[in-house]
Structure 1
Amino acid sequence: MTIKDTAEEWEVRASETPFTGNKTSVRTDEVVMPDGSVVRRDYQVHPGSVAVLALDDQDRVLVLRQYRHPVRQKLWEIPAGLLDVPGENPLHAAQRELYEEAHVKAEDWRVLTDVYTTPGGCDEAVRVFLARDLSEADGRRFEVEDEEADMELARVPLDELVRGVLAGELHNNCLVVGALSLVAARSGDGVDALRPAEAPWPARPFES
């Protein structure tokens, strides 16, 4: 048996969108089950996201601390953002987010991993990149607003982040997935074996 996720789509008898927000919406589908019964499934429709584990030459990860209202916490995270434009190249989006949130650019980009954040209730897909060879970005800093106006930036050793994840002190999914994926890559075939930054992404197809 091959352990690999596969595309499949069960019959949808009816679909409606009872709520449409600024960036996401909620959809209700009537889905035909294998036994022929029909059930209703509510889920959030999401444009997709990118995240960047930016690693400097001292093995420190660029992280930011931001208030997240749904969980009523300030979370340490890695730079991330929405794929605002349908079909947008995720690498370009990741480079934009790294610039806007940290005013940093990177010369070496690779794909760490692709994940669905909560596939039981949301179709959000996230591509997590590894960015290396960091330097200060040129030009003016991006003007931040709302929660980002209160954001803190830091560079934290990778092993300290991993300790925090395993101790239950760090909870942001992109930070957790990114940090542990990098450790796994290093202990496996090595970072150079990671997929290239422009690797195909079936969950969110894009143009180069």
Structure 2
Amino acid sequence: MTDDSLAWETRDRTVAYSCPGFDVITEDVRLPDGTETDFDYLSEPESVAILPLTPDGSVVAIEEWRQAVGRVNLGIPVGGVEPDDTDLEASARRELTEETGYEAERIESLCTVEPANGLADSVTHFFVARGCRPTAEQDLDADETIRVEERSLESLERAALSGELSDARPVLAIAYYRLAESSDVGE
């Protein structure tokens, strides 16, 4: 249940900046105490993040150049939901194959999060892909440079604890996966 006394009133909304992949939105808002101000945030389409597991339990990890932080980043397949995708599972399957060349026997929903709702309207849907095997070549976007490597889940956990794995999406995927594995909630 929400506390409406905390709600801000949006009086006007404009797109301050637009580029492929996201917009920057400026809203004129009135705060609960009557103060009028503006609020800027990043708006982007929903995305999917996939924790791909091979039949032997290894993770199909990726290394990808990330220009914003100026380094190769350890991660998992992540990408935007596209208009042609029939559902979120189709998005997850497409991203997995495009970024890694692997296909999954089955895909299960893991969780949905708002990873940065103080500054973005981003929504990421996490999936576990099981029985992943290489079946094709990567089909990367023009601005993607990705190397694929299989790693044990335990090595990725250690990488998260050491800071080598610093992208929040694989860290969240692993944490939710382990929580779901150890939980009897819903059983």
TM-score, normalising length from structure 2? 0.89
Deviation per CA, 1:75-128: give whole Å up to 9, x if none: 011011111328852111110011111111112211112111211111111001
Distance 1:6 1:90, change over 3 A: farther
> In the TM superposition, what is the alpha-carbon distance from 1:186 to its structure 2 partner?
1.3
Structure 2 Cα separation of the partners of residues 60 and 33 of structure 1: 49
- Structure 2: 5+ residue stretches without partners: none
Structure 2 Cα separation of the partners of residues 13 and 186 of structure 1: 45
Partner-residue secondary structure (3-state), 2:55:
coil
Structure 1 Cα separation of the partners of residues 138 and 26 of structure 2: 38
2:180 pairs with 1:185: yes
2:40 pairs with 1:45: no
Kindly provide the amino acid, as one letter, of the partner of residue 126 in structure 1: T
Deviation per CA, 1:5-64: give whole Å up to 9, x if none: 869763211111111111211110112211121221100110111011011222211111
Structure 2 Cα separation of the partners of residues 7 and 187 of structure 1: 33
Kindly provide the amino acid, as one letter, of the partner of residue 176 in structure 2: S
Structure 1 Cα separation of the partners of residues 84 and 142 of structure 2: 24
Checking the alignment, whether the CA contact within 8 Å between 1:67 and 1:147 is kept in structure 2 is no
Structure 2 Cα separation of the partners of residues 186 and 110 of structure 1: 13
Distance 1:20 1:103, change over 3 A: same
Residue pairs, 1:70-89, within 5 angstroms: 70-85=68-83, 89=87
Query: Which residue of 158, 166, 170 maps to 2:165?
Result: 170
2:150 pairs with 1:155: yes
Structure 2 Cα separation of the partners of residues 128 and 163 of structure 1: 21
Partner of 2:29: 31
2:60 pairs with 1:65: no
Kindly provide the amino acid, as one letter, of the partner of residue 62 in structure 1: V
Kindly provide the amino acid, as one letter, of the partner of residue 154 in structure 1: E
Size of the aligned set, in residue pairs, is 185
TM-score, normalising length from structure 1? 0.80
Note the aligned Cα RMSD (angstroms).
2.3
Kindly provide the amino acid, as one letter, of the partner of residue 162 in structure 1: E
Distance 1:145 1:37, change over 3 A: closer
Structure 2 Cα separation of the partners of residues 106 and 141 of structure 1: 15
Kindly provide the amino acid, as one letter, of the partner of residue 165 in structure 2: L
Structure 2 Cα separation of the partners of residues 123 and 14 of structure 1: 17
**Identity over aligned residues, as a percent?**
28
> In the TM superposition, what is the alpha-carbon distance from 1:153 to its structure 2 partner?
0.7
Partner of 1:116: 114
Query: Which residue of 128, 137, 140 maps to 1:141?
Result: 137
